[in-house]
Amino acid sequence: MAAGSLLMNDGHWIPVLGFGTYAPEYFPVSESECAVEVALDVGFRHIDNAHLYGNEKEVGRAIQKKMADGTIKRNDVFYTGKAGGDYIPMDENGKILLDMSTDLCAIWEAMEKCKDAGLVKSIGVSNFNCRQLEKILNKPGLKHKPVLNQVECHPYLNQSKLLDYCKSKDILLAGYNVLGSHRHKIWVDQNSPVLLEDPVLVEIAKKYDKTSAHIALRYQIQRGVVPIAKSYNPERIKENFKVFDFELTPEEMQRIDGMNRNLRYTDLKPVSSHPEYPFHDEY
């Protein structure tokens, strides 16, 4: 079974498995470059980044290196970037054009202008709940729907209701923390259970001679979620790509569905007073 892609609502394709480039602050930024090079060598063609990660230059250099040595062509790579809250659009006189903290529709209009200008091919959102997506979809004069919503998604937080909603609107769901997360001590409760040690994943992994990470990733792919696999360990990067040579049964998918406990590893509580904090809603 070959690695595949999913068609987005704007006609562009996105690889079904992404490589995440975020790393905790104790990782040297230079390691981002090496990790992305390994990921591209292994076969990843979807690279997920953000301005907030502070390593855009390093990730860009890795992509350029792999283009230069013939490993990839630019059209082979789907690159995701994210504008953070510290990005404030201004006019030529330095006047702020919109309130990034509250005006979702105005932010979306700015993103639509970027797409119309050819600065980006596709536009999506991250950490949006159903209500926030509805706000964008019902915006008067909407020109471009979000193609994708990237949210935390794993067997302990399977996002089934949000996934169903997004499918009904022809919006793809991408998942971060798909293998669980304990790396960031500010955002993540260190007492949270370790996803990859869950007996259900361990048992299924033994059947296929795979790892728990393989099962968690394969689960997302089969339900139509685009998982973002994140690692800076070269061997794990190679391992994480080996998810296209087996398939989970419907019964196994149902068992993994049953693991859901609505547990967020990244609940963003330090910003929970923000007017657009997304996790007060059920989904």
Distance from C-alpha of 181 to C-alpha of 273, rounded to nearest angstrom: 23
Helices (H), the chain: 30-42, 56-68, 104-116, 130-137, 160-168, 199-208, 212-222, 234-240, 250-257
Distance from C-alpha of 14 to C-alpha of 5, rounded to nearest angstrom: 5
Tokens of residue 185, six digits: 């001590």
Contact 182, 190 (CB under 8 A): yes
Q: Cα separations (Å) of 270 from 52, 55, 186, 190, 267?
A: 16, 23, 9, 15, 9
> Phi and psi (nearest 5°) for 237?
-60, -45
- Burial class of residue 226 (count of CB atoms within 10 Å of its CB; 0-12, 13-18, 19+): buried
Contact 283, 165 (CB under 8 A): yes
Which residues are designated catalytic?
53
Tokens of residue 90, six digits: 């201004």
Three-state secondary-structure class, residue 239: helix
Pairing assessment for the beta strands 5-7 and 13-15 based on DSSP bridges: antiparallel
Distance from C-alpha of 99 to C-alpha of 273, rounded to nearest angstrom: 16
